[in-house]
Chain A
């Protein structure tokens, strides 16, 4: 086996179950409810995390279904795995939400037509934006969680998102895994990754979300 084929082999074994889950994707968009309002406690923050993961899963599902023509076989395999991870994160957060008495939202739908998903460069650019956003979102959301168990639950995901972000960045621009646009190179924040409040993040999410995600009620501190 050649070194380059590592992801391809690992990805091939994965394909069947991923398709299975893709088939379970809930696409019930209810026109009469164009807004998802996130709650004012940590359950709202967990719902916010669910939205982020569903957004990422939707994005990768689209790329995996119709990869850009200039994607290499290895890149296709990598994106297949990224897709699987995001679906698992979403399913997991769905279980967490259910356990705290919240029904995971079923009316989420995303439109990524503002990205150029027909080229490798366009897909990598989009993936980098979404992965870096995810990392910053989890860093900013952690302090809004009051129960340690759920805090750990989010941190188990956030470092995997950072691993994704670093890989996608390196695919796009080798060596940019922790470049100065995401990890401050100087000043008081030197060495720290980005952190964004839910409202900052949702401003971006709402560019892609078909229904409005309202986060004004989310805890602020």
Chain B
């Protein structure tokens, strides 16, 4: 766990993205408030037992589901904290959307706990999202980071569930959650666009646009879990078909390994 590395990643904005931006003042104000993330570094963040359990290995599908459960606990709590803070999310459509997303994350927790039964890991003591709720822009940047991470995390585990024999049709369930996370990510990205961040509903190259950069980077090993900028699919460089790297990267989402995902999510978990 390299917290300082993650924090420095948080600050990065791709130069090519900046070149596209006109409403720079919005971006810079977002970044300025995100600078408060540095406060996180000063705080002793204890990495909880849930984190260790999640890293302990994935011998069977229950381990995979407990890893998923940890991410869903985290997402659920993130939205609960955001909705509980008066004035953070504008009333009307934005609040309705976040309430719906929160409801889905709660449903995922319920579903995964039900599937795991007695093997379900307990909810961590709490989650500390640092400066995530300081501003609406911060909240959206974190929300995008978590949703895009969720998409990559479930995708990264599909093969493992399959190889575990797909007991109880868990693969289908995992993918049914995976696509819901992608719907959330798409909508949150549009909410950020409406709030002045120039980006699409899908991921261009590995551009974070002020969200957590590691979410879009390569995993371990990078050959299996390339960054979102990957253009090699099925052994073919699809840019050779006459498409730009931006177009190819947007058309495909990449999976991410558990260690990298927990490295991104871990700092938020309190023991």
Contact = CB atoms under 8 A, between A and B. Distances in A.
Interface of A: 1-3, 6-7, 9-10, 13-14, 17, 20-21, 81, 84-85, 88-89, 91-92, 95-96, 99, 135, 138-140, 142-143, 145-146, 148-149, 151-153, 155-167, 170, 174-175, 177-178, 182-183, 185, 189-195
Which among A3, A84, A194 has the highest number of chain B CB atoms within 10 Å? A3
Given A142-B158, A153-B234, A163 B193 contact: no
Interface in B81-96: 93, 96
B158 A151 contact: yes
B54 to A, nearest CB: 21
Nearest to B253: A159
B116 interface: no
B140 interface: no
Contact of B172 (A84, A191, A195): A195
A153 B233 CA distance: 8
A99 B104 contact: no
B27 to A, nearest CB: 12
Contact of A92 (B108, B238, B242): B238
Nearest to B197: A3
Interface string B175-206: 11111111111110010011010111110100
Contacts of B182: 158-160, 162-163, 166
Nearest to A16: B242
28 contacts: A1-B21, A1-B198, A3-B196, A10-B200, A14-B244, A17-B242, A84-B247, A84-B251, A92-B251, A99-B235, A142-B158, A142-B162, A148-B160, A149-B159, A152-B155, A153-B234, A155-B178, A156-B254, A156-B255, A158-B179, A160-B252, A166-B184, A167-B201, A175-B100, A177-B186, A178-B183, A185-B103, A191-B105
Given A17-B243, A191-B180, A92 B201 contact: no
Contacts of B252: 88, 92, 156-157, 160
B234 A143 contact: no
Given A1-B20, A1-B22, A192-B177, A81 B186 contact: no
A139 B255 contact: no
Contacts, number: 213
Given A159-B151, A163-B202, A88 B248 contact: yes
Contact of A17 (B97, B175, B247): B247
Contacts of A194: 176
A166 B187 contact: yes
Nearest to A142: B175
A156 B198 contact: no
Interface in B117-163: 151, 155, 158-160, 162-163
B155 A3 contact: no
Majority SS at the chain B contact face: helix
A182 B160 CA distance: 26
Given A88-B251, A138-B175, A153-B234, 18 more contacts: A1-B22, A14-B247, A17-B241, A85-B202, A85-B251, A88-B252, A91-B241, A92-B251, A95-B234, A99-B234, A139-B175, A156-B233, A159-B155, A160-B250, A162-B180, A164-B186, A182-B183, A190-B107
Range, interface on chain B: 35 or more
A84 B183 contact: no
B236 A145 contact: no
Residue from the set B160, B162, B169 with the largest chain A CB neighbour count within 10 Å: B162
B173 interface: yes
B171 interface: yes
Contacts of B180: 162, 178, 183, 191-193
B166 interface: yes
A162 B186 contact: yes
B154 to A, nearest CB: 8
Given A177-B183, A185-B103, A158 B22 contact: no
Nearest to B160: A148
Contacts of B255: 152, 155-156
B23 interface: yes
The 8 closest A-B pairs by CB, nearest first: A191-B107, A148-B159, A162-B182, A166-B186, A159-B182, A192-B176, A163-B186, A162-B179
Contacts of B155: 152, 155-156, 159
A2 B252 CA distance: 27
Interface string B239-271: 001111011101111110000000000000000
B177 A160 contact: no
Given A3-B193, A13-B244, A99-B234, A155 B104 contact: no
